[in-house]
Structure 1
Amino acid sequence: MTGAQEIPVMQPNSSQCFEIRDQEKVVSTAVGKPITHVSAIKQATGEAIYCDDIPTVAGELYLKLVFSSEAHAKIISVDASKALLVPGVEAFLSAADLDEERNKMGPIMKDEEIFSRDTVTSRACVIGAILATSENAARKGKDLVVVNYERLNPVIVTLEDAISHESYFPSYPRILKKGDVNNAFTNSSHIVEGQVRSGAQEHFYLETFSAYATRKEDELEIIASTQHPEDIAHMVSEALQIPSHKIIAKVKRIGGGFGGKESRPAILAVPVAIAAYKLKRAVRAVLDRDEDMQVSGYRHPCLIKYKVGFTEEGKITAAKFEIYANAGNSMDISCAMIERTLVHVDNCYFIPNVEVHGYLCKTNMPSNTAFRGFGAPKAMMAAETMIRHVATELNKSYEEIICINMYQEGSLTHYNQELTYCTLSRCWNECIESSNYWQRRIEVEEFNRHNRWKKKGITLVPTKYGISFQVNVLMQAGALLLVYKDGSVLLSIGGIEMGQGLFTKMIQVAATALEIDYTKIHISEMSTDKVPNSSPTAASISSDLYGMAVIEACNTLKARLEPFKAKNPNGKWDDWVIDAYVNRVSLSATGFYAAPEITYDSETNSGNLYEYFTYGVACSEVIIDCLTGDHQVLRTDIVMDVGESLNPAIDIGQVEGAFMQGYGYYTMEEMVFSPRGEALSRGPGAYKIPGFSDIPKVFNVSLLKGAPNPRAVYSSKAVGEPPLFLATSVFFAIKDAIRAARIDSGESPEFVLDAPATCARIRMACEDLITKQVTPTIKDTGKPWNVIA
């Protein structure tokens, strides 16, 4: 037991398995081929243009926002006189420049102010904006704006603070019920209770919030790093009281979004647009990294309490969940987030009787917002913790409990949607086989028997992710197709490119529909004067929606070309196009798609809420150092059902990227705050995100074969968000390793591990004589570790 085996150094290795269906390699059939991302070369060489790369123009001004230095306070006075004396500083904008009604904003509820007038409720509140001829002058001016406050109490930072003060948004808790939970508990053989806590996660996109606006006569053009340009234009329209047709919002690409740029960029883009319009000058702004991390909002910290009843065999009969999510100081889109949380607490398991209470906690933190997975990863983690708790209580393997309770074809969820084309069992069995799970489980146990201070863990985790905005009005998309005389095609859609490959996939869809080479098609940018009233590029559904709109536009144009094709059957695309032009046939077409209506009724808890589900299973093996708390991911195997992939290279990249982002969330990314609501972990020096060395040493990703999806474009499936939760396979493998260490120490194998599983938490969970000398422990303080007193 005290001897240690030599741990072999593993060489990084990986495999990517997918099927290319078009064996004939027809040039025009671009869908299903691993085509390179159309911007890849530009991005790799630095030629790709982002918002702040736009060349400066004469008379341009630079804007710096003045943020509140208090989390909860009354504004006594704002004095910008010293700032206006700085050479180069030309203006200061504040609430005094907008009347009360025009100063309101918010994506759903108008519960935010563009510029705070009387009070501030978090350090993300904007007091005003300094406009100067240079960034340095604007920075100096911003620091000279004097704001006097009267501090207000309480300052609510943590979920515990919110619960103790009963600080919840109106209309919450939101309650979802199915069956009779109390009766089922009465008749259950066993009942256990527990809780799961997960912290905030910073988006840490490479491009921080940025915006650029110019006024041309009485028109306004806005370029911003946002996933929802239409919403920015709408807010500016309301603030300036000018119609939307005189405002154009554009996005060529953004440097990562992950949901963080769906709604929050308005705090910068709207003031920039207002300044450009009022001063009749071009205005640009970029948040510094520390500013961005303080004000842009995070993944919602969450506390979930569960109570579960089950039979002697391990069949779950009932479950009750209480979900507390830290929404921050405004609603933003947290109401939509908690709805997804409520309907994903089942993860992959049939629970006949369910009761879920969802609380949105109102705190003096920056307004938390969308993040890849949008509420689901927190809920599904509770489900996985619960499953493993049941297994421990019955002294059975968690694999057995999962298989007993796993959804099958035709199962009903707790919101009564029937599962069709359910490939969970296939993904589960294929992952077990491809990862050689059972043999490796034996090897892990053997390793742990011979090593005291290094322990291995290995686990399997399944996932089921619903694809839909969950709101009918957002389930629509438009496209504009322009064909030129030389046969080249310019395509415009309402979605934006943030590295996820949406533009590439839409080019492939158009090429296949038009039956031409994909190199003839180009997408330049998203612009609200090309495709109006667009939904945000979010919820992993953009390929589904815009793909259908693109096909409709292509079919319209093909029908116009059909007579010329019939007249010249041996001709080519270019011949038919020029012939149509000569004969004065329109070579532009629009496409529009409205997804089938969501039939779910929350009053009766029935009907279909989602278009379909994306499934997957991951197996991860880790090794931990019981003396330092460090860990390493030795191997991860993923089997993902993405239907018939539009582009398997991009989809596998999305699976790998989502997994690594989830890995950061569950193991190392920890936001730390002061009791006054200040983010103390601002910047990469204080906030650790995964690096190259954190990638699993062996990383195998396989796309499930023969799993078409009739509910989406060309039988594909959404892929952006669903794989993120599979990173909990690492978290639970770490718990597996810690459990082995605790048994060696003579400690109880049962323990609570909050996410993220940082080095400190892993070390303290591996209880021994050393850890017992450390006081106070988290048990003694009762406070979350991420609040520094």
Structure 2
Amino acid sequence: RSGVGESQTCDHVLQFESKAAFQNHFSVNACLMPVCQLDGAAVTTVEGIGNTKTRLHPVQERIAKANGSQCGFCTPGMVMSMYTLLRNKPKPSMEDIKETLAGNLCRCTGYRPIIDGYRTFCEVCNCSPINSFIQHHTTSENCCQRNGNSCCMTNGSGPLESEEFMPLDPTQELIFPPEMAESAKPTTQRFRGERMTWISPVSLNELLQLKAQHPQAPIVMGNTNIGPDIKFKGVVHPIIISASRVRELFEVEHKPEGVCVGAGCSLSAVRSVLEKSVSSLPEEHTQTMAALLDQLGRVGGEQIRNVATLGGNIASAYPNSDLNPVLAAGRCSVLLLSKDGKREVLLNKEFFVGFGKTILKPEEILLSVFIPVSRKGEVVRAFRHAPRKENALATVNAGMRVWFEEGSNVVKEMSVYYGGVGPCTVSAEKTAQQVVGRSWNEETLCDAYKELVDDVTLGASAPGGKVMFRRSLTLSLLFKFYLHVLQHLKDTVHPPLLSVSTMHTCFQPREQLVNNTIVTCVGQMICGVVADTKQHAKLAARALRISYEDLPDPIFTVEEAVQKHSFFLPQRKLEKGDVSRAFQEADQVHEGEIRLGGQEHFYMETQSMLVIPVGEEKEMKVFVSTQHPTMAQEAVAETLGIPSNRVSSHVKRVGGAFGGKVTKTSILVSLTALAAWRTGRPVRCVLERGEDMLITGARHPVLGKYKVGFMKDGRITAADVQYYANAGNTADESVLVAEKILLHMDNSYNIPNLRGQSSACKTNLPSNTAFRGFGVPQSMLVMENIINDVALILNRPAEEIREKNLYKEPSLTHYKMEFDPENLLRCWMECKEKSELEGRQLSIAQFNQQNRWKKRGISMIPIKYGIGFAEGFLNQAAALVHIYKDGSVLVSHGGTEMGQGIHTKLQQVASRELNVPLSLIHITETATSSVPNTCPSAASFGTDANGMAVKDACETLYKRLEPIRKQDPNGTWKSWISKAFFDKISLSATGYYRGQDLYMDWEKQEGLPYAYFTYAACCSEVELDCLTGEYRTIRTDLVADIGRSINPSIDIGQIEGAFMQGLGLYTMEELKFSPSGVLYTRGPGQYKIPAVCDVPLQFNVYLLSGSHNPHAIYSSKGIGEPTLFLGSSVFFALKEAVAAARSDSGLSGPFPLHSPATPERACSACSTRFTQMIPEAETGSARSWALELP
């Protein structure tokens, strides 16, 4: 759980028998819903709708059949969100599904299989992207319906055969318990705890009396504000008043002059009310209502909107509120009530007086909100920009209203309100006054802009950072409003309008478990607190008082580390050819740099473990969510000073890992084991999301500095690159990451003269660690940026430069490993064909010529990814297979299941080798007591190694049974096993795999670090809004060489999930640290991973046919990590779109666009006249709000 209602993994369904309820069923977040609030509600959890012991519910069945669950940690939330939708709307549309799942996060799947499963509930089930929001996914050449055929989702030709689905019968669902309805009595409730009292009145008079008696007591409705404060900030309220049962707060009254909405109405209920009003009233009267509807659909996820209230949104006065600017601009008012009387107050700049403060008196409550109808000639519009399209707090939002003199374009009245640019909702009053009395034209707008630059300002150290961007957004959003009103006037008044295109004329070593001496970063553990309850442990931790002295001269960035020679050794270097001479002979030489930010693992299940002391021989049982059970075992044994045979590690499954549950987990499990050892009792440790993000590190931020020499025809003849990785305060695996960066610096290109140097910089940030790709995504981004720069200098398509420099024939890498690039070239050419690259490049060029503020870009990227551990001893695995007398088979192996499907694949291996059905084979867990000395499940090598070990064990058993099969060729598997038992033939066997002796000799700069390469290519097209930096991915085509796949469904899921994680890395996910090294982005509220809305509108995945691989089991290939880098195709497509925008501004050639290419960076790189109008912030003595990493 996130604890703030952002990930929706803890969805439950509530049903109230109440006249105040606007819907019978609604989903909520368990992490925010107080138990006290549930009196009188019927609560349905995922276990309540179906299970594997009795019967799956259709919602559960379809997500399973669609392969929509990998690690499975997000699945209950997905299921319950969809279940709620179906209870309220048994035949939903695709738009309904999109909206329902907008707030649900998944880190594994890439969302496609989840949507594919749930789209089958739609009345019109269609796989075409034209007919639904979801991407088209297919492994065939074209859409199934292109030639007039029926949809593969309904005709049984696809993976989801509709005939197999359990039908959804709404009449068989749970009803509200009649006994609860009969016993429900509206009486005041009081619940008393150790530190606070919860009071829930049932009448308005009683509520007013309570507020008079306890004026400082907060009123709780949805608990979306008070709850997180209590949970994360330790705020204690002696009295809490819940007004959720006061009917007057939920009343809605329609009047000729507008609609009066009770302050207690949830945002979902308000939305329903406004939708009905908009559909029943003339358009000219619904401007404000329509603007509010635009915002209501994007405030939080549906689970938040179901409980958050309109009154709470207003009264909390949050500076980023999406509704308050629109309410203020739209002339809305509120009715305030107390025991002494009532007053009606306009929502304007006087109402919001500061951060979280309004003019409400402590004893007052907000009873209702009045939303007036708009007047003839009045235009109201809402705007919003956020790090993610949905379920994300706005960076900047706005509500704008203009009222014209009748029959003209002369402004009679105007209001402009912004959120996100001050401590509360801000009125651009001077800007509005600049426009009043003047015609709505470009000259007026120019003057308004000049006024707005001074009217709305932000200091250099303003909370939230992005000062220049936020200020430029105020201009861009006003310009968008100008364009919207122009169109409105054109449709209604028809004045002579100037061309918008003339707008420019008005502008110019090992880690310690805890440290009690020197603390080298914020987030370093200094002690552990053991208590009988989680709440007591938290209170005890807060009670600790620790004295600190500031570290002299801390190091946070790689530039500071380089300046002070702060590195983890060794530093690595690779070189081939004569780089210096090649530079002299090159036609052109170019130098540049690119920065790549870090990335939080954001596994859905945080670090979790349970340690139980057992027996009398100092034994410990460790149940832990880890990729490396043996490392956890050895860490516990070493910490407690006992041999490893007294410690057993057990891993059932892992709720996502991505490299983040190896070294960091072992440190935490050691602390937990120490607590269990000292207390003699079982101890559980489960980190909360913010703690996990603060402590466990992330992907290494990297600075790449490069020099490239090339010829006029695009051939790159020399490259020299320096990589600086921000390792944090301990070494962890950073030197290994730096090594892999060098090993993949060529990506897929044969550069005859290549030199690279890589350093792991020691800084005072939390220690970074392994992450899916292990340095490769950083390394290859630098090379692709070099390619992009060369293309811009030569004014040629980047794909032409890439293709010219690809490996073309059997070659040696820069570390002298031989390989054949045939399948790399096949992937490239097939992707080029499938994506219709050349034709789309022409249409994109035409689109960009016709559009000034929207630009499109397309990019195609290849990858050559090495599989295996360069540390040769890790390329081994073992397995243990038991056959029981009833014929059932139990398989144990050293790999851990973390969503990548290793258990399923190894069941398939056992089934194939023993020639028995999958139903007879079971894998219970990964345990060091069954399979010792395991290697980590990492490097996309888990199935390769453990699959061969299982195969070896099964071959041994099958060979033992051969005499019995010959004796009784017509027997059954069960009869053969029974006969073997009575013949005293062992039905247990171990299997072992000794992998290749891979190595890398850094002194000689040569080696065989990988068993083989996985190849792929990907083409993505984006559309960029140059005014805000927002973009959407229109289409992605991906071709992957994964050999002969053991399970294509699993592998495609890995490909899509990795791609989406890469899309997040390169365009969205941004870790922010304060100038003193404190991580700001500690949770889903601040750190945004891709959601359903970020999936490409059309997503095609193709598996390369006719491929084989002699170096892995059944000629398959590892695929978990490679395709993550292909998310960079979106990054470079964005860069192409930015280049088109810069071209319109007269700019050409290479330009900096660092990763992630957030809307802020993309908008700034476009260098429009709007961004140029904002003066550079004068920092003076103030420090920037956040560090600029790496």
TM-score w.r.t. the length of structure 1 is 0.86
Q: 2:522 aligned with 1:400, yes or no?
A: no
Offset at residue 316 of structure 1 (A)? 1.7
| CA deviation after TM superposition for structure 1 residue 304, in Å | 0.5
Amino acid corresponding to residue 861 of structure 2 in structure 1: V
- 1:255 partner SS: coil
Amino acid corresponding to residue 741 of structure 1 in structure 2: A
- CA deviation digits over 1:214-269, x for unaligned, max 9? 00122100111111111011111111110000100111011100111121112321
1:347 aligns with 2:747: yes
For 2:581, which of 172, 180, 183 is the aligned residue?
A: 183
1:338 to 1:780, Cα distance in 2 relative to 1, 3 A: farther
Code of the residue aligned with 1:720 in structure 2: it is G
Which residue matches 2:1052? Answer: 652
Deviation at 1:603, TM superposition (A): 2.3
User: Which residue of 687, 695, 698 corresponds with 1:298?
Assistant: 698
Counterpart position of 2:1043: 643
Q: Is it true that 1:468 corresponds to 2:468 in the alignment?
A: no
1:439 equivalent in alignment to 2:839: yes
Partners of 2:1051 and 2:988 in 1: CA distance: 30
Please point out which of 718, 721, 725 is paired with 1:325. Answer: 725
Shift of 1:393: 2.3
Using the alignment, how far apart are the partners of 1:377 and 1:656 within structure 2? 16
Tell whether the 8 Å contact from 1:341 to 1:378 is kept in structure 2 after alignment: yes
Query: Which letter does structure 2 place at the counterpart of 1:716?
Result: S
Displacement of 1:440 in angstroms is: 1.0
Cα displacement string for residues 77-132 of structure 1 (whole angstroms, at most 9, x for unaligned residues)? xxxxxxxxxxxxxxxxxxxxxxxxxxxxxxxx32x211213111112321111111
Q: Are 2:276 and 1:154 aligned?
A: no
Give the CA deviation at 1:604.
2.1
Spell out the pairing of 1:236-251 with structure 2 (5 A cutoff).
236-251=636-651
Distance in 1 (CA, whole Å) between partners of 2:765 and 2:703 is 16
Measured in 2, the distance between the counterparts of 1:142 and 1:311 equals: 63
Pick aligned residue for 2:135 from 7, 13, 21? 13
Residue number in structure 1 paired with 2:603: 205
- How far has the Cα of 1:458 moved from its partner? 0.7
Change (3 A) 1:394 1:167: same
CA distance in 2, matches of 1:35, 1:230: 39
Deviates more, 1:595-604 or 1:462-471: 595-604
Tell me which residue corresponds to 1:165.
Answer: 564
Aligned twin of 2:904: 504
Deviation at 1:784, TM superposition (A): 9.8
What does residue 194 of structure 1 align with? 592
Q: Tell me the CA shift for residue 788 of structure 1.
A: 7.5
| Unpaired segments ≥5 residues, structure 2 | 1-128, 142-157, 167-508
**1:391 correspondence with 2:757:** no
Alignment match, 1:75: none
Match of 1:578 among 964, 972, 978: 978
Q: Secondary structure at the match of 1:275?
A: helix
- The Cα of 1:161 is off from its aligned counterpart by 2.1
- 8 Å Cα contact 1:35-1:647 kept in structure 2: no
| Distance of 2:837 and 2:728 partners within structure 1 | 42
Map residues 408-427 of structure 1 onto 2, 5 A cutoff: 408-420=808-820, 422-427=822-827
Work out whether residues 322 and 356 of structure 1, in 8 Å CA contact, stay in contact via their aligned partners in 2.
yes
Q: TM-score, normalised by structure 2?
A: 0.57
Aligned 8 A contact 1:743 1:749 in 2: no
Displacement of 1:34 in angstroms is 8.2
Runs (4 or more) in structure 1 with deviation over 3 Å come to 7-11, 33-36, 777-781, 783-786
1:141 matches 2:531: no
CA contact (8 A) 2:1135 2:1153 kept: yes
Residue identity in the other structure for 1:457: G
Name the residue aligned to 1:739.
1139
Counterpart position of 2:480: none
Larger Rg: 2
User: 1:568 and 1:8 mapped to 2: Cα distance?
Assistant: 59
The verdict on how the C-alpha distance between 1:696 and 1:114 changes in structure 2, with shifts beyond 3 A counting, is same
1:552 aligns with 2:952: yes
**2:119 is the counterpart of 1:119:** no
Match for residue 718 of structure 1? 1118
Measure the CA separation in 2 of the matches of 1:369 and 1:547. Answer: 27
Match of 2:529 in 1: 130
**In the alignment, which residue of structure 2 is the partner of 1:690?**
1090
Match of 1:516 among 890, 893, 916: 916
Which position in structure 2 is the counterpart of 1:215?
613
- 8 Å Cα contact 1:34-1:647 kept in structure 2: no
Q: Relative to structure 1, is the Cα distance of residues 429 and 784 closer, same or farther in structure 2, using a 3 angstrom cutoff?
A: farther
Q: How does 1:561-640 map to 2 (within 5 A)?
A: 561-640=961-1040
Deviation at 1:419, TM superposition (A): 1.1
Q: Is the 8 A contact 1:328 1:363 kept in 2?
A: yes
Could you say if the C-alpha distance between residues 508 and 338 of structure 1 is closer, same or farther in structure 2, counting changes exceeding 3 Å?
same
Aligned residue identity for 2:139 = C
- Report deviation, 1:188: 1.7
Amino acid at match of 1:155: P
Alignment-mate amino acid for residue 134 of structure 2: P
Distance in structure 1 (CA, Å) of the matches to 2:549 and 2:1186: 27
Task: Report how far residue 548 of structure 1 moved.
Answer: 0.7
Secondary structure at the aligned position of 2:765 is classed as coil
> Do the aligned residues in 2 keep the contact of 1:207 with 1:256 (CA within 8 Å)?
yes
Q: 1:361 Cα shift?
A: 0.4
- Superposition RMSD on alpha carbons, in Å? 2.2
Residue 674 of structure 2 aligns to a residue in which SS? helix
TM superposition shift of 1:411: 1.4
Distance in 2, matches of 1:710 and 1:650, equals 21
AA partner of residue 593 (structure 2): Q
Q: 1:713 to 1:430 in 2, by over 3 A?
A: same
1:688 is displaced (CA, Å) by 1.1
Q: Distance in 2 between matches of 1:136 and 1:359?
A: 43
Deviation at 1:786, TM superposition (A): 5.1
SS in 1 for 2:721: strand
What CA deviation, in whole Å up to 9, does each residue of 1:48-97 have, x standing for no partner?
Answer: xxxxxxxxxxxxxxxxxxxxxxxxxxxxxxxxxxxxxxxxxxxxxxxxxx
2:783 is paired with a residue whose SS is helix
How far has the Cα of 1:423 moved from its partner? 0.7
- Counterpart of 2:941 in structure 1 is 541
Amino acid at match of 1:202: E
Q: Deviations over 1:390-442 (max 9, x none)?
A: 22222322222112210134111111111136411100111111111111111
Q: Is the 8 A contact 1:421 1:709 kept in 2?
A: no
Secondary structure in structure 1 of the residue aligned to 2:830: helix
Match of 2:1104 among 695, 701, 704: 704
Q: Sort the Cα spacing of 1:784 and 1:35 in 2 relative to 1 into closer, same or farther, 3 A.
A: farther
**How many residue pairs end up in the alignment?**
696
Tell me, which stretches of 5 or more residues in structure 1 are unaligned? 1-6, 20-32, 42-108
Tell me the percent identity: 47
Q: Give the Å deviation of 1:531.
A: 0.7
Deviates more, 1:618-627 or 1:383-392: 383-392
Do the aligned partners of 2:789 and 2:1149 also contact (CA within 8 Å) in 1? no
In 1: Cα distance, 2:819 partner to 2:912 partner: 30
Quote how far apart the aligned CAs of 1:8 are.
Answer: 9.2
SS of structure 2 residue aligned to 1:734: helix
Go from structure 1 to structure 2 and tell me whether the alpha carbon gap of 1:760 and 1:592 turns closer, same or farther (over 3 Å shift). Answer: same
Larger RCO of the pair (alpha carbons < 8 Å, separation 6+): 1
| Distance in 2 between residues matched to 1:738 and 1:171, nearest whole Å | 39
